[in-house]
Amino acid sequence: MTADPLENAASTQAPEKSAVQPKARDPFDPLGWELPAVCKDCDKEFTVPYRHFQAGVVFHCPHCHGSYVPTVPMYRQVHDTFENFYARMRRERDQMAQTTADNVAFRDKLERELAEFHKALERLARELRPAGKMVRRKGLAAMFT
């Protein structure tokens, strides 16, 4: 009835660390773009991948599991906002690469522009409402809306 010592040694060993380090996200890579969204049911924020954001695609809120379905006008506004911003930033990056401009100045400008862009996305997330019936609040929460 004693435990096998080899079994205990194998179960207590620490797992090996991965040799692959995660890369920092490139702000010009569309696979890493995320879009903030506000649930129509619980009013909590969550993010959805931009590459999947299309009219009619159903996303689910991770907080209340309510559905979030973008409409065509929502998609057009978000698409135009993303594409205009990133086209402008790519153009400026390419111009900076062709000239001997200061890389630090471009990085500072990119940080400022990204902050403004994220504010614009937050504003869109609050203003735009997805398809579907809004859930009425019940109980005490209904008194404060």
What is the domain partition of the chain in residue ranges? 32-144
Cα–Cα distance for residue pair 55/71, rounded to 1 Å: 5
User: What is the pLDDT confidence band of residue 14, given thresholds at 50, 70 and 90?
Assistant: very low
**Ranges 7-16, 21-30, 68-77: which has the least confidence:** 7-16
**Higher model confidence: residue 74 or residue 135?**
74
Q: 116-120: long-range contacts at Cβ-Cβ below 8 A with a sequence spacing of 24 or more?
A: 117/81, 117/85, 118/36, 120/81
